[in-house]
Chain A
């Protein structure tokens, strides 16, 4: 299940989930960055937990619930997306699907993270454009948005 859709694929079971998502499910929002779990551009959720899809065999994902950047909201209105827009976080934008997926997972577990919790959750998401200061601010802002919008489940 990717974003609540079922896919059946006849693929090499060892193929990383990343390529199944991108080239077989056709969801291009999840990015290839390094192939060795070092940059976080490929971050998706497996049953709500962030994983590096570039190093996760597709066979291990069967029967699990995968969420990609395309699946976190219908109208670009997830609090994290709203905060990212408000603070104009992305530059080239390539790493931000992964950044946002890591941030969404963090806030789900810890709706009011301090800077240390942000560092721990986000330190393995690399941004070459250097948007880290805005990422931090946007996570704090998303936390506020969640607090004032408690009705909305996410």
Chain B
């Protein structure tokens, strides 16, 4: 029997003393047997059919989930794809998170890629295992394989009706070759894919039993809180820990180092204590001197002015079709506008944290909420010089990801503190740490020009992006002689048929660490791009949605989503005075969504966001209800970034520090959201997690214009005084 000893045996169980059973749920609230989630449990002796499908001797079937659960639903969607082809229901299996094993390739949840990037691979994994089980049964019965089929965890012999459970076939099946091209099911026979199914992790999440990174405990563990300087670029001059060491429970004070993107090294002081409260109190008692190196002079106001100044330069031409300059010059109707967006924080509800244990022999074990075990391995290996083979990663449920947990700075920092104290250590960031220390979503500024023909059609368009660069932030060897394509995401790829288009990128230096944030640069560029399309429609005296459709003569998914959102939003039905609706769409690497936002202008001058209609285009949908949840979430996150505080720097550091001044949306501000999914089996599977976000801000601001006549060109917009 092939064992899975090498990849699945964990020292973890022994170390933690936790019994796996503590994390397994057998009975759901509805009384039905529910899928269990193996969050922190080793595997029993078992047979491996494919790396993704393991059957334990007890008969328990385990499905490996190769993408961390960050709220997006991979604990259902990915095992569901495997289970579909394996012919088993999810309530019969245990789901286990992969831990960076090479056999699973890169394990990262990002870019809305979990389903679209693994759909066929996981179907094949399930189908291969099914064929192996069927073959094992036919061999044991000595009947032709064609007379056998799999259903509901068993193989049946059609002529006689006899059957045998997968568990009893596991050992024989595991000795067979894995079929390279197994026969996949006809989608019309799907029982799981395409159906709204309950997520197994939700039982844990409504009962306090889901284990997030911050909840991990290992024997001998100590706690740490780290004092870091919110002024990026500062150097530690000196510190006095005499008061700190008087606090009961404080064990040690050690230098800390936070490494961002492997190249930015930020100093800190870690207070290590028997419990977290003592560590926090000890940290407060530190007296620290920082040398700001002049970075305390940095502020957002001046930086933003520098971006406006840079907009007068050409930068790089990143797209050039037709003859923009001539078409623009010759046009009788020109439009020009400048748009600004803010930096924002990720603010996952679970603040950054990590448990790390640097053991003798330079073996590191980490327990973390992270978007990728592969990312943690990369970071520890790169920054600490540890071989990947000596790094063990345990990925817990993530209390939000949104791109923040694509960075593993918290892991190398915790590992170094563990090394210094020789014990496993849990580092918990305060909300202030989490808010002020980034990396942040960068701002983008956009200078846009457009021109119309005499009959009001868009004939020329230019989008110039001025911004710091994600590439420059994360790459020490960033090549400034080339544009950063991640900063011009989608601006040249919208489906509008505009004959003359010339787009630019202007690079701006920035010392503040920035990173991907849900829907990356589309989260800001869509605002400028789609508000400007509206401005052109106004200039052309055309309905904004019809103006867009007039630029979409060829069949396209964009045309499809706009037509659908027109239909479901009742676009053609006039709204009463004081109310307005706006439309926007944006297509980018993750996918495509169109939205119509309805707002009302209140008597006190404020704007209320009443309703959002969204149409997301997917090709194939795995879990419709969860897809709707993701679009609902993208809309809320887009709304927060459009109307709340954002991150502003004064005296070198973020003014915003916690939820009192970096405000989030509350339930009483929640618009009604209606989501429609287009999943007509097109050739391309698109993403779910991100596309719902970018259209929100432009659709909202276009709606504000419709309701009030005021054009919003700078975010955030304060809805209380539009």
Contact = CB atoms under 8 A, between A and B. Distances in A.
A59 interface: no
A123 B667 contact: yes
B424 interface: no
A10 B665 CA distance: 39
| Residue from B29, B73, B658, B673 having most chain A Cβ neighbours under 10 A | B29
B668 A123 contact: yes
Given A85-B29, A134-B632, A126 B664 contact: yes
Contacts of A36: 431, 658-660
Contact of A88 (B211, B626, B665, B670): B626
Contact of B202 (A24, A90, A118): A90
Given A32-B351, A95-B349, A96-B206, A77 B248 contact: no
B604 interface: no
Interface string B391-414: 000000111111000000000000
B629 A91 contact: yes
Interface in B340-390: 347-351
Contacts of A126: 349, 659, 664-666
A76 B204 CA distance: 9
B207 A70 contact: yes
A28 to B, nearest CB: 4
Interface stretch (B274-282, B300-308, B480-488, B538-546): B274-282
A8 interface: no
Contact of A94 (B207, B349, B635, B668): B349
A94 to B, nearest CB: 3
A130 B30 contact: no
A26 B347 CA distance: 26
Contact of A35 (B30, B402, B431): B431
B206 A94 contact: no
B276 A19 contact: yes
A129 B71 contact: yes
Interface string B245-278: 0001100000000000000000000000001111
Contacts of B659: 33-34, 36, 38-39, 126
A15 interface: yes
A89 B398 CA distance: 16
Given A31-B214, A34-B659, A36-B431, A134 B629 contact: yes
A27 B208 contact: yes
Contacts of A127: 349, 636, 667
Nearest to B25: A76
Contact of B73 (A39, A68, A91): A91
A70 B399 contact: no
Q: Give the secondary structure class of A's interface.
A: loop
A85 B198 CA distance: 8
B664 A128 contact: yes
Contacts of B673: 133
Contacts of A95: 349, 399
B672 to A, nearest CB: 7
A114 B349 CA distance: 27
Interface string B20-34: 000001011110000
Interface string B178-210: 000000000000000000001101111111111
B438 interface: no
Given A19-B276, A92-B348, A131 B629 contact: yes
Given A76-B203, A81-B29, A133-B670, A92 B665 contact: no
Contact of B201 (A32, A70, A93, A125): A93
A28 B212 CA distance: 9
A97 B625 CA distance: 22
Nearest to B399: A94
A149 interface: no
A133 B632 contact: yes
B277 A19 contact: yes
A135 B199 contact: no
B277 A88 contact: no
Interface residues of A, number: 61
A65 interface: no
Contacts of A75: 27, 29
B563 interface: no
| Residue from B201, B430, B659 having most chain A Cβ neighbours under 10 A | B659
Interface in A116-150: 118-119, 122-136
B634 interface: yes
B428 interface: yes
A113 to B, nearest CB: 12
A105 B670 CA distance: 21
B233 interface: no
B446 interface: no
Interface in B198-235: 198-199, 201-212, 214-215, 217, 223
Interface in B424-471: 428, 430-431
Contacts of A28: 208, 211, 215
Nearest to B435: A34
B350 A15 contact: no
B633 interface: yes
A29 interface: yes
Interface string B671-707: 0110000000000000000000000000000000000
A113 B215 CA distance: 33
Contact of B207 (A15, A29, A92): A29
B349 A100 contact: no
B276 A92 contact: no
B28 A76 contact: yes
Contact of B666 (A68, A76, A124): A124
A81 B666 contact: no
B29 A129 contact: no
B170 interface: no
A112 interface: no
26 contacts: A15-B277, A23-B275, A23-B276, A28-B211, A29-B208, A30-B208, A31-B212, A36-B431, A36-B659, A36-B660, A70-B209, A76-B203, A81-B207, A88-B199, A91-B72, A93-B204, A93-B206, A96-B205, A128-B347, A128-B402, A129-B400, A129-B633, A129-B636, A130-B670, A132-B636, A133-B632
Interface of B: 25, 27-30, 70-73, 198-199, 201-212, 214-215, 217, 223, 248-249, 275-278, 281, 347-351, 397-402, 428, 430-431, 625-626, 629-630, 632-637, 658-660, 664-668, 670, 672-673
Given A23-B276, A93-B202, A128-B349, 10 more contacts: A31-B350, A34-B658, A70-B209, A73-B207, A76-B29, A85-B198, A85-B203, A85-B206, A91-B629, A126-B665
